[in-house]
């Protein structure tokens, strides 16, 4: 029984070995089937018949395939967005001191003015008669040409009436031509010096006593030429309007034909003269154009 049982076992082992060898031959034949040039003539491993080994009904083993190369990556596009517009913010309010007041408006370099004034005159005393009732008053007007802020030319005409140093009633019309020098032309209150010359015509009511003691009256007409000097103040109440106040001293002499034969003043000691003087006080308004 021992020999009987070992025979079938040996047969099975030989069958398995033969099947394994056959399988190896089939695999080798399949490996060389694709290239017939590599199979030597008469080799039984290069049989054209493909032997399939496997369990019936099962799918064949997968064929190993080489994966395709990866596709090239798409180009990289870098998009740079436009920078946002700048945003301006106002700085915080800061405290600034208030600006200084604007300077006064500059006056034009040249001006023409028209002046209107009131006059009061005081005459010098006469050695032959020292009365306290002498003097005159009146009105006047001037054309004032001011080519520069510092200098002006004033041409004026006045009309006065009153009592002269002899105590005679008189009316007088003086014409003056004066130069004005402004010491502070940029100020509202401007101080000026004046100087010039003038002409004057006077109608005088002369009263004299006759030889029989009666008073006689006659009219005399005198003419004068003299110099004037003084100073004043011009105050600008507006850009084109100013107040004027000045004092004008004068010294003059008679120029009419009767001056030599009929002198105007006679002193107590008999001396005669045609020279006189006094002061003229004025105040008024000047309108500039």
Beta-sheet pairing, 265-266 with 151-163:
unpaired
Using the predicted structure, report yes or no on whether residue 51 has a pLDDT greater than 70. no
> Does residue 138 sit in the same domain as residue 276?
yes
Q: Round to whole Å and give the CA distance between 134 and 163.
A: 5
Contact 136, 172 (CB under 8 A): yes
> Does residue 29 sit in the same domain as residue 116?
no
Q: Round to whole Å and give the CA distance between 5 and 226.
A: 186
Using the predicted structure, report yes or no on whether residue 238 has a pLDDT greater than 90. yes
Q: What's the pLDDT at 96?
A: 73
Judge whether 238 lies within some domain: yes
Report the CATH number at residue 276: 2.40.160.20
Model confidence at 270, pLDDT cuts 50, 70, 90, reads confident
Judge whether 64 lies within some domain: no
Q: What's the pLDDT at 88?
A: 73
DSSP E strands, the chain: 111-123, 135-148, 151-163, 169-182, 189-209, 215-238, 241-254, 265-266, 272-273, 275-288
CA end-to-end span of the chain: 165
- Dihedral sign (CA 20, 23, 25, 31): negative
> Does residue 135 sit in the same domain as residue 273?
yes
CA atoms lying within 13 Å on the CB side of residue 181: 7
The range of the structural domain enclosing residue 24 comes to 9-36+44-51
Q: What's the pLDDT at 5?
A: 46
> Does residue 139 sit in the same domain as residue 236?
yes
Judge whether 192 lies within some domain: yes
Model confidence at 124, pLDDT cuts 50, 70, 90, reads confident
Q: Round to whole Å and give the CA distance between 132 and 170.
A: 16
Judge whether 186 lies within some domain: yes
Judge whether 154 lies within some domain: yes
Greatest CA span in the chain, whole angstroms?
225
Contact 163, 202 (CB under 8 A): no
> Does residue 32 sit in the same domain as residue 115?
no
Using the predicted structure, report yes or no on whether residue 45 has a pLDDT greater than 60. no
> Does residue 117 sit in the same domain as residue 219?
yes
> Does residue 26 sit in the same domain as residue 128?
no
Contact 198, 250 (CB under 8 A): yes
> Does residue 150 sit in the same domain as residue 243?
yes
Q: Give how many domains the chain has, as a whole number.
A: 2
> Does residue 135 sit in the same domain as residue 259?
yes
> Does residue 163 sit in the same domain as residue 253?
yes
Contact 286, 140 (CB under 8 A): no
Using the predicted structure, report yes or no on whether residue 47 has a pLDDT greater than 70. no
Judge whether 87 lies within some domain: no
Stated as kind and residue range, the H or E segment containing 24 is: helix 2-33
Judge whether 131 lies within some domain: yes
For 152-187, write each residue's pLDDT tens digit.
Answer: 999 999 999 999 888 899 999 999 999 999 999 999
Judge whether 191 lies within some domain: yes
Q: What's the pLDDT at 32?
A: 47
> Does residue 17 sit in the same domain as residue 116?
no
Using the predicted structure, report yes or no on whether residue 30 has a pLDDT greater than 70. no
> Does residue 123 sit in the same domain as residue 264?
yes
């Amino acid at each position: 029984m021992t020999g009987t049982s070992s025979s079938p076992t040996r047969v099975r082992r030989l069958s398995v070995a033969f099947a394994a060898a056959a399988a190896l031959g089939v695999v080798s034949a399949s490996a060389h089937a694709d290239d017939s040039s590599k199979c030597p003539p008469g080799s039984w491993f290069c049989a054209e018949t493909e032997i399939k080994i496997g369990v019936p009904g099962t799918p064949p083993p997968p064929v190993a395939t080489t994966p395709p190369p990866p596709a090239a990556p798409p180009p990289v596009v870098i998009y740079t967005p436009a920078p946002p517009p700048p945003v301006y913010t106002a700085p915080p309010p800061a405290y600034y001191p208030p600006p200084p007041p604007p300077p006064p408006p500059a006056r034009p370099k040249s001006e023409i003015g028209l002046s209107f004034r009131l006059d009061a005159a005081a005459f010098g005393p006469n050695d032959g008669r020292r009365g306290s009732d002498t003097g005159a008053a009146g009105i006047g007007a001037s054309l004032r040409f001011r080519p520069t802020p510092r200098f002006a030319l004033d041409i004026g005409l006045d009309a006065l009436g009153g009592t002269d140093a002899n105590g005679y009633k008189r009316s007088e019309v003086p014409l003056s031509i004066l130069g004005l020098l402004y010491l502070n032309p940029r100020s509202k209150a401007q101080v000026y010096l004046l100087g010039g010359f003038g002409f004057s015509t006077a109608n005088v009511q002369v009263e004299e006593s006759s030889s029989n003691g009666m008073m006689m009256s006659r009219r005399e007409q005198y003419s004068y030429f003299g110099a004037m000097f003084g100073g004043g103040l011009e105050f600008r109440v507006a850009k084109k309007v100013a107040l004027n106040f000045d004092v004008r001293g004068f010294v003059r002499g008679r120029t009419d034909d009767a001056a030599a034969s009929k002198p105007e003043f006679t002193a107590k000691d008999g001396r005669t003269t045609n020279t006189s003087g006094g002061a003229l006080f004025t105040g008024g308004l000047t309108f500039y154009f």
